[in-house]
Amino acid sequence: MKAAVLREVGKPFTIEEVEVDNPGPREVLVRTAFAGLCHSDMHFQEGLYPCATPIVLGHEGAGIVEAVGSDVGYVQPGDHVITCVSIFCGQCKQCLSGNPHRCSKEGVTRTASDPPRLRQPGGDMHQFMELSCFGEQMLVHENAVVKITKDIPLDRAALIGCGVTTGVGAVLNTAKVGPGSTVAVVGCGGIGLNALQGARLAGAERIIAVDRIASKLELAGRFGATDVVDASNGDPVAQVQELTGGGVDYSFEAIGLKETAEQCFAMLAPGGTATVIGMIPLGTKIELHGVDLLSEKKIQGSNMGSNRFRTDMPTYIQLYLQGRLELDQLLSQHLQLDEINEGFEAIKGGEVARSVLVMEA
């Protein structure tokens, strides 16, 4: 198959031929239809997070099952599926306590003694997060996919694989925002826009979008924002506090920066909760004013929207089909595989919500 390969951290992707192994007993071979470009992939490409190379990145994908292993009973060839990094074993403490997104993943990955899922003549090819969506095929454990209805276009379905689940889930599952709440979302990219519509689904009364780019603030209104704050026009914390008369009940950091995480905490009302969704670079420390803790303000992280993806993703699909979840305007552009480097450059420019690679013939 053709795949976008990262051979060296900090360098562009190259399009190469990569061999895919046959499915093991509990593995599924998926023909990738679409793969979303996410900031998280860019963090690994740029070295903000470590990864072994050469590697096929990509973790937000949707496709059609081509083949299944001997012990697979959940899907069959022809099924439409979404992949997810929250692969679960179903037997560890986290899975059994209702937190499969924190699974230790024992028994759902290939071991060092097993043949690699991906390889090239003369050497192995590393698989990213047990998925590697930037290839024409994905060989994954069956617990890395969710079977979906064929009523939803697969390019829209791919967005649910990470961006939607992460943003909406952070609001509904991690923070558990309730009706009548006040919410601020800092960063209106793909994740932030989904946090906004998550707040709308939760029944928040006031939803404030914070960004520096006018086009993103305009788009935020279509995803549920009742107010917008242009962070380039002054201190966003002061602006949010002025709008709300003292701060918000919930804030969400959707960029992955020390400064914006601290701002999210600072814009809380007493008893408020700040949730950091963005991937803050390794080694970065967040600084808070200790006295604010006396007001029972809290800060927490969110991993993939605290999802239970085999139930959450079908729900999001139904909300989309009912017209209650926006996906069409989230999709900024379709790109061919060999346009992947241009796609990530567009993300750096900040003008796109989500781009997807067209992998199907």
DSSP 206: E
State the catalytic residue, choosing from 39, 43, 101, 126: 43
Which long-range contacts link 283-291 to residues 24+ away (Cβ below 8 Å)? 284/258, 285/258, 286/258, 286/261, 286/262, 287/258, 287/262, 288/262
CB 204, CB 183: distance < 8 Å: yes
133 annotated active-site: no
State the catalytic residue, choosing from 39, 40, 302, 355: 40
CA 175 from chain centre, in angstroms, equals 16
Which of 118, 128, 260, 268 lies closest to 189 in space, CA to CA? 260
Number of Cβ within 10 Å of residue 92's Cβ equals 17
State the catalytic residue, choosing from 39, 59, 101, 126: 59
40 annotated active-site: yes
103 annotated active-site: no
Number of Cβ within 10 Å of residue 261's Cβ equals 26
Structure tokens at 79: 């099924």
The secondary structure element, H or E, covering residue 4 is strand 2-6
95 annotated active-site: no
43 annotated active-site: yes
State the catalytic residue, choosing from 89, 133, 162, 264: 162
State the catalytic residue, choosing from 38, 84, 95, 133: 38
Distance CA 336, CA 316 (A): 26
Distance CA 197, CA 207 (A): 9
DSSP 90: S
Distance CA 233, CA 211 (A): 10
Distance CA 179, CA 28 (A): 40
Which long-range contacts link 68-73 to residues 24+ away (Cβ below 8 Å)? 68/23, 68/27, 68/28, 68/29, 68/142, 69/23, 69/24, 69/25, 69/26, 69/27, 69/28, 69/142, 70/25, 71/25, 71/26, 72/23, 72/25, 72/26, 72/27, 72/28, 72/142
Active site residues: 38, 40, 43, 59, 162
